[in-house]
Amino acid sequence: MDDIHIRRGYLPGAIGRVAELHAAYFTENWSFGVYFEAKVATELSAFLSRYDDLRDGFWTATVHGRIEGSLTIDGQHAREQGACLRWFIASDKLRGQGVGDALIAEAKQFCRDCGYPSIYLWTFEGLHAAHHLYRKHGFSLVEERIGSRWGVKVNEQRYEMLLD
């Protein structure tokens, strides 16, 4: 696909589109529902409302101007707790084309440039392609527990990466 563009910063409609991408994928593949979509939209809205370009990162992957992927770095507590990677998704149109790899590479470099000591994320068991990318980029699984932060009971997993 020749017209894939990755850019940093807010785009109009990003909140709704990122929530839509998450809702569509996780409802179809994991039976998540309205609770999850509302959680993504609400928390992403709150994040972007307090977004600080020097501390935080919000990347989108677009095809012909339409958002087809995203990744966020929340740096609000990064110096003490590590930067938090959130809302990582790629549409069916982009999966397997290296976009997820590129988004994670951008986020890692941003965190290094900011001098953050580490990056962490919460995910859950079964997201094999994403977990492969996390491990490829140097993340390690450091914690597991049964929980329902996404509205359904899953084996939650915390991945972490120490930065140089």
Residue-wise pLDDT for 60-70, tens only, equals 999 999 999 99
Structure tokens at 153: 């009971």
Residue-wise pLDDT for 19-53, tens only, equals 999 999 999 999 999 999 999 999 999 999 999 99
What structural domains does the chain harbor?
4-116 (3.40.630.30)
For residue 2, pLDDT over 90 is answered with no
The pLDDT of 129-134, averaged and rounded, is: 94
What is the model's pLDDT at position 95?
A: 87
The pLDDT of 129-143, averaged and rounded, is: 96
From 41, 78, 89, 88, select the one nearest 56 (Cα to Cα): 78
Sign of the torsion formed by the C-alpha atoms of 3, 8, 10 and 14: positive
pTM score, whole prediction: 0.94
Distant-in-sequence, close-in-space partners of 122: CB < 8 Å, separation ≥ 6? 149, 156, 157, 158
State the pLDDT confidence band at 1, using cuts at 50, 70 and 90.
low
For residue 5, pLDDT over 80 is answered with yes
- Could you give the percent of the chain with pLDDT greater than 90? 91
For residue 150, pLDDT over 90 is answered with no
| CA end-to-end distance (rounded Å), the chain | 34
Question: Which residues does residue 83 pair with via DSSP β-bridges, in sequence order?
Answer: 119
- How many other CB atoms are there within 10 angstroms of residue 108's CB atom? 20
What is the model's pLDDT at position 101?
A: 94
Distant-in-sequence, close-in-space partners of 108: CB < 8 Å, separation ≥ 6? 119, 137, 138, 161, 163
What is the model's pLDDT at position 164?
A: 75
Three-state SS across 21-66?
A: HHHHHHHHHHCCCHHHHHHHHHHHHHHHHCCCCCCCEEEEEEECCE
